[in-house]
Amino acid sequence: MDMSSDMAPGRATAGTVKELSYAEAAALALQREMEADSRVVVLGEDVGRGGIFGQYKGLQQRFGAERVIDTPISEAAIMGAGVGMALAGLRPVVEMRVVDFALCGMDELVNQAAKNRFMFGGQGRVPLVARMPGGIWDASAAQHSQSLEAWFAHLPGVVVVCPSSPQDNHSLLRSALRCGDPVVYIEHKNLWALRGAVDESLEVPLGKAARLHRGDALTMVSWSRQLQACKAACDALAAEGIAVDLIDLRTLWPWDRDTVLDSCARTRRLLVVHEAVQAAGFGAEIAATAAEATGCRIARLGAPRIPVGYAPVLEAQSRVGTERIAEAARALCR
């Protein structure tokens, strides 16, 4: 996909670093882009009161109800209106509340937003950001805890982003808003309270991974909230003398093949870990690409192909925990 972006004027002031939550970092990113570009608008359920996770807090009071627009409860109408706004020259942020609800607006995304630029020879562009919080939401059961990022990575015409930290949620959201194509932006439902330093001036391009640990024994690739368990596993493995090259993919499409494959060629081992169901998950794409390009040893970890349970003991069966990750890494290194 062409990642060119007709960038709006106005960048953050250099050197501004704040301690923010994942939700606050996103709200600040939106505020800055809305200040810089009057074409940026927000629409969705409950955005006027700040959103269910606080990711729009204060924005309607600052920019008014004409730019932060509360909508009826109809995902198809919200997504369809967003596509129309984008084709008319605006840069809408379409709030789906959670990815599970976005399924009601799939036709507008899949058959309209994703294909318009191709079908009409570039005469139309859909610079839309669809925010679809994904992943397991504690004690929220099967219809509120799905990880569907592989669905969208399979869809030609869209960019797919999965930020794992407050800094990335700030920087990647700003990059997504400047992208000329539709972006499926999947924040994790359980990361909103996560706090960290956020540098407003730090730009993170779409399609570029981050290396969080450096090592030669094993390459480990993950994204979103699963990085927390991966980092804990890497710390435990380091104490055993196993140095892991931990890569946060950040953008699933386009994904950073060069960083991953360079690491795999060096370590000769790859472990891909994700919260989503392992069967047909995006980890399979990474594993197949690495196998074809480097011939390295490969293992995958993901959830079993079951709905996420409501009871804690059942919900735990869908989680990929630290010890399981560490044991899979040890097995690859034997």
- The catalytic site residues sit at 144
User: 210 - beta bridge partners?
Assistant: 248
User: Tokens standing for 284?
Assistant: 């399979």
φ, ψ of residue 102 to 5 degrees: the values are: -65, -20
Rounded (10°) CA dihedral 16, 18, 24, 26:
40
| Residue 91 and residue 41 in contact, taking contact as beta carbons nearer than 8 Å | yes
Give the DSSP per-residue string, 160-210.
EE---SHHHHHHHHHHHHH-SS-EEE--BTT-TT-EEEEETT----TT--E
| Residue 82 and residue 94 in contact, taking contact as beta carbons nearer than 8 Å | yes
Instruction: List, in sequence order, every beta strand (DSSP E) within the chain.
Output: 17-21, 40-44, 68-70, 91-95, 129-131, 159-161, 183-185, 195-199, 210-213, 218-222, 244-248, 251-253, 269-277, 297-303
Amino acid identity of residue 320, one-letter, is V
49: nearest Cα among 68, 30, 66, 31: 68
Give the DSSP per-residue string, 249-293.
--EEES--HHHHHHHHHHHSEEEEEEEEESTT-HHHHHHHHHHHH
| Residue 267 and residue 215 in contact, taking contact as beta carbons nearer than 8 Å | yes
User: Tokens standing for 77?
Assistant: 């109408």
